[in-house]
Amino acid sequence: MPRKLKNSELNRKTEAEFKASSKTPLILILDNIRSLNNIGSVFRTADAFLIQKIYLCGITATPPHKDIQKTALGATETVDWFYQEDTLELIQSLKLQGVDVLSIEQAENSIHLNTFKPESNRTYAFVFGNEVKGVQQAVVDASDEVLEIPQLGTKHSLNISVTAGICVWDFMSKTQFK
């Protein structure tokens, strides 16, 4: 039976080691996220997988905030983040820099996440939308592609932090852990 590792055995990076590490070529964009706990959870996921940076847009709250910190567990200190009020302006700027922008949304002509094949040596940005309204239609329209997580049940709705975790893990499994 495998022995559970102690925290001291996890070989965690220090904050300085994290900052100096080569980052995964993935940017996360939070488009009008209401829940501070969801924001914190995305930070924690971004830390776990050395994500390049997070953009907080629109009504998305920014650190420091106790409810973000509660779920981020310090990841707001390691992961680079920036506030940009207008999501559409941000993605237009990123596209000019050669970043492939993909909205995570249920939409016509979307690509199922399991069939998405990221190209090596490219930087991607995933846009995650509001808990009720999703990604703004104008942002979907301006995106290079739309990715959709195939779902089989009755709800066809996942929490944004769960969605981010699934999408980041999928990206990592196809680029870093292949």
Residue 158 located in a structural domain? yes
Could you report the per-residue pLDDT of 25-72, keeping only the tens digit for each? 999 999 999 999 999 999 999 999 999 999 999 999 999 999 999 999
Domain CATH code at residue 107: 3.40.1280.10
| Mean pLDDT of all residues in 11-30 | 95
Q: Is 95 exposed, middle or buried (0-12, 13-18, 19+ CB in 10 A)?
A: middle
Peptide bond into 64 cis (omega under 30): yes
Kindly report the pTM of this predicted structure.
0.96
pLDDT of residue 115: 98
**pLDDT-derived band at 95, boundaries 50, 70, 90:** very high
Residue 142 located in a structural domain? yes
- Please name which of 162, 159, 32, 13 lies closest in space to residue 75, comparing C-alpha atoms: 13
Residue 4 located in a structural domain? no
pLDDT of residue 177: 81
Domain count for the chain = 1
Please give the residue range of the domain that contains residue 114: 15-175
Residue 9 located in a structural domain? no
Residue 8 located in a structural domain? no
What's the Cα-to-Cα distance from 140 to each of 27, 107, 128, 135, 145, rounded to whole Å? 16, 9, 10, 7, 8
Other C-beta atoms within 10 Å of 144: how many? 13
**pLDDT-derived band at 13, boundaries 50, 70, 90:** very high
pLDDT of residue 42: 98
pLDDT of residue 142: 98
Residue 10 located in a structural domain? no
Mean pLDDT score of the chain, rounded to an integer? 96
- The answer to whether residue 100 scores a pLDDT higher than 80 is yes
Q: What does the block give as tokens for 63?
A: 């650190």
Residue 140 located in a structural domain? yes
Residue 50 located in a structural domain? yes
